[in-house]
Structure 1
Amino acid sequence: MAAILALSLSAATGGALAAPVSDPPRPLPSGAELTVRPGDRVTISTSATVDADTRNGVRVVSGAFATAGTLRREDRLVTAIMTVACTAASGPYEVRFRSPVGEENPSGIDRLWGSVRVAPADETERVECARRVSELPLESQEEHWPGDAPWPQTPWDVRTVRAGGTITATDNSHMAGDGEVKLSSPAFTQSVVMRGSKKVDAAVRIRCEVQPGVYTVHWNEKGKPAKEWARYRVTEAAPGCQDPAIAPQAGAARKATPWLVGSVAALSVMGGAGYVLLRRRRKASH
């Protein structure tokens, strides 16, 4: 009876009782040695504020891993997930921290974190390992920084905002000046110009009808090609959400003022000249 009930539950849930595609990553604490098998996933998690060796973007390398991992921000921590290569020979391997991509130099980061010991595996296990690893999804590049940190800290600093809500974008690198950069994104109600004296920022509003998902922000600077600058996640709008009427930015209004003043002045002059001409014609007719 129990077997029949188990089969019924499995059918009703569409195979929910089946074994997962892969086991959860196994944690590797600092200074420890972890015994693993080909295809196992290993995770490292540590405080992001201890020292410069444990910051966002630092690579995690080992001869046992299929590819290097990357420490990515998870609130107050940084976390990386790596997969043990299916071809890794049995034996011990060091796990080290290295400088982020683009920062490699002779005085860069080279810190021993711990080690893994790969258990012996026969050819059948390695073939099965290759099949399982090929089915794994790509590791997410998203970072999740604390809410009190200006957004974005990096192009993958994904913050969450509700459709119809607002989020402030800040240039933390101080690469742009007042009015030099326009931000655009499919979910914005309109493109916005970044403004400020010491650093530039812009408050952007998300359209109410935008579908939930992750969207990209493009950085458009005068005289330079556009680039992907930030990402954000949109959740469903509140009931009754309505987009406000689009108003020109203050900068645009300031730029339009001289034209408007000039146009009014020109119309005034034309109106005055027409009045004088009309009076002359009336006098001549009398």
Structure 2
Amino acid sequence: MRPGDTLTVDARSGEASYGDTVHSSAFVAPGRLRMMDPLLTTTVTIACDARPGTVPVLRRGAGDVGPDEHPLRWARVRVRPAGEAARRACRDRVKELPTPDLEERWAPSDTWPQSEWDVRTFRAGSRVTITDNDDEGADGEISLTSRAFADRPVLRGARAVLTATATLKCGAAPGLYVVYRHDAGQRGPDRRWARLRVAPASPAKACSTDRAAARATGASPTSVLAWTAGGVLLAATAGMALVRRARVRRFRAEGPE
């Protein structure tokens, strides 16, 4: 590798864990392993002032924060010699490097979201199951909001896993949306918790957010329609009874001819 080159680091399951970071004196900055199913991956850049030779790459666990946690010697990278002109060109090239893409790709069988950048695609008007594996005991204490949501779901669960169901607006424009988290008793702004991508509603089905929200609360459009029809029938029956009573009173007042 030459100074200024970008290096993609991949790891299979068992070789590293999600959130681990890779460090080296040859890198501009450490790289954090993120999920791109089926691999964990990160991209690092060889520093412009990196010394030529073989340099060790260290891996530090996601939870290793104390001074007693020693990073693991994990790999090696070989840096080729570069002249002063090449190093100056390297500095200009590094300044123009694009911002890394933070979106992750998890297995479709995994619950959503697995991380803040676990971006999945859902159709407008659909119902989305949300799962939280990190807030045991917070039943009913966490609510979620998003410009894509037609409602404000609340995470619930008596065990380690909390779940909720959100209904996406039929009119939500295609694109990336942020999901914000609000904790009970929280002070300050809600924090970003997840992201999702909205695709257009299915052309084969009529999209109705009201109907989807009714299903989410346990009421079906049929039951609502039946209740409405019953109400009309009840009102009509009551009206007929009033007319009949009025006719009887009128007949008694006038008497038989």
Q: Same fold (TM over 0.5)?
A: yes
Equivalent residue in structure 1 for 2:198, among 234, 245, 251: 234
Q: Give how far 1:248 is off.
A: 9.6
- Letter matched to residue 175 of structure 2: G
Equivalent residue in structure 1 for 2:57, among 83, 91, 95: 95
Equivalent residue in structure 1 for 2:32, among 56, 70, 77: 70
Structure 1 residue 202 and structure 2 residue 167: aligned?
A: no
- Letter matched to residue 89 of structure 2: E
Distance 1:136 1:106 in 2: 33
User: Does the aligned pair in 1 maintain the 2:35–2:106 contact within 8 Å?
Assistant: yes
Structure 1 residue 41 and structure 2 residue 10: aligned?
A: no
Superposed counterparts of 1:1-286, under 5 Å: 36-48=1-13, 50=14, 54-100=16-62, 103-106=64-67, 108=69, 110-198=71-159, 199-225=161-187, 226-239=190-203, 241-245=206-210, 246-247=213-214, 250=217
- Letter matched to residue 111 of structure 1: L
Q: Percent identity?
A: 39
Distance 1:39 1:238 in 2: 46
User: Does the aligned pair in 2 maintain the 1:97–1:109 contact within 8 Å?
Assistant: no
The 3-state SS of whatever aligns with 2:209 is coil
Distance 2:114 2:70 in 1: 21
The 3-state SS of whatever aligns with 1:129 is helix
- Letter matched to residue 37 of structure 1: R
The 3-state SS of whatever aligns with 2:109 is coil
User: Does the aligned pair in 1 maintain the 2:116–2:195 contact within 8 Å?
Assistant: yes
- Letter matched to residue 155 of structure 2: M
User: What CA deviation, in whole Å up to 9, does each residue of 1:87-117 have, x standing for no partner?
Assistant: 21222211111122x6312553622222112
Q: Give how far 1:197 is off.
A: 2.2
Distance 1:224 1:109 in 2: 36
- Letter matched to residue 86 of structure 2: E
User: What CA deviation, in whole Å up to 9, does each residue of 1:48-97 have, x standing for no partner?
Assistant: 3x16xx11110010000000001101123201110101121222211111
Structure 1: gaps spanning 5 or more residues? 1-35, 252-286
User: Does the aligned pair in 2 maintain the 1:164–1:241 contact within 8 Å?
Assistant: no
Structure 2 residue aligned with 1:262: none
Structure 2: gaps spanning 5 or more residues? 219-257
User: What CA deviation, in whole Å up to 9, does each residue of 1:138-157 have, x standing for no partner?
Assistant: 11222222121221222222
Distance 2:7 2:120 in 1: 26
- Letter matched to residue 220 of structure 1: H
Q: Give how far 1:234 is off.
A: 1.9
- Computed over aligned residues only, the root mean square deviation of the Cα atoms, in angstroms, reads 2.2
Distance 1:75 1:47 in 2: 10
The 3-state SS of whatever aligns with 1:124 is helix
Q: How many residue pairs get matched? A: 212
User: Does the aligned pair in 2 maintain the 1:208–1:241 contact within 8 Å?
Assistant: no
- Letter matched to residue 157 of structure 1: D
Q: Give how far 1:227 is off.
A: 1.9
